[in-house]
């Protein structure tokens, strides 16, 4: 399970469920392949994270705008990483494939 800490110190748990995947793909008009391969721009990554945290947002009564303000200082690389970790937790074979496809590091 992946977590994202906001500027107020709140840990947001990204929950990947079938309904969350469906919502992300439908609302962003992207395919499952685009989501799982992280073939997304930064706005789509932010929206995906928002959708995966939506139950917690409702429970904590945090608006989407406030959520985005609270994660504004999180570096984009960390946003991509937390989404990637969430997907890898749900689809472990995807992580192995990504590692197999990565260029070999010769230690240079």
pLDDT tens per residue across span 65-77: 999 999 999 999 9
Confidence band, pLDDT 50/70/90 cuts, at residue 105: low
| 57 against 106, higher pLDDT | 57
Residue 83 counted as domain residue = yes
Closest CA to 98 of 49, 85, 31: 85
As for how many domains the chain has, the answer is 1
Task: Name the pTM for this structure.
Answer: 0.82
Residue numbers of the domain that contains 62: 2-94
In tens, the pLDDT along 25-75 reads 999 999 988 888 888 999 999 999 999 999 999 999 999 999 999 999 999
Q: Is 3 helix (H, G, I), strand (E, B) or coil?
A: strand
Interatomic CA distance for residues 30 and 27, integer angstroms: 8
Q: Does some domain include residue 10?
A: yes
Say if 99 falls within a structural domain: no
Domain-located, residue 27 = yes
- Domain assignment present for residue 103? The answer is no
**Residue 106, in any domain of the structure:** no
Q: In degrees, to the nearest 5, what angle opens at C-alpha 105 toward C-alphas 103 and 106?
A: 130
Residue 8 forms part of a structural domain = yes
In a domain, 19, yes or no: yes
By the 8 A CB rule, do 6 and 71 touch? yes
Tokens describing residue 16 = 């990947």
Token pair of 15, please? 């929950």
> How far is residue 101's CA from residue 48's CA, in Å, rounded to a whole number?
24
């Amino acid at each position: 399970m992946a977590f994202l800490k906001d500027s107020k110190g709140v840990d947001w748990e990204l929950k990947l469920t079938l309904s969350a995947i469906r919502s992300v793909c439908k609302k962003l008009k992207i395919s499952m392949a685009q989501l799982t391969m992280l073939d997304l721009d930064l706005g789509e990554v932010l929206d995906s994270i928002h959708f995966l945290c939506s139950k917690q947002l409702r429970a904590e009564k945090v608006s989407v705008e406030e959520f985005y303000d609270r994660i504004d200082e999180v570096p984009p690389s960390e946003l991509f990483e937390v989404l990637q970790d969430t997907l890898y937790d749900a689809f472990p074979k995807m992580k192995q494939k990504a590692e197999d496809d990565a260029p070999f590091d010769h230690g240079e």
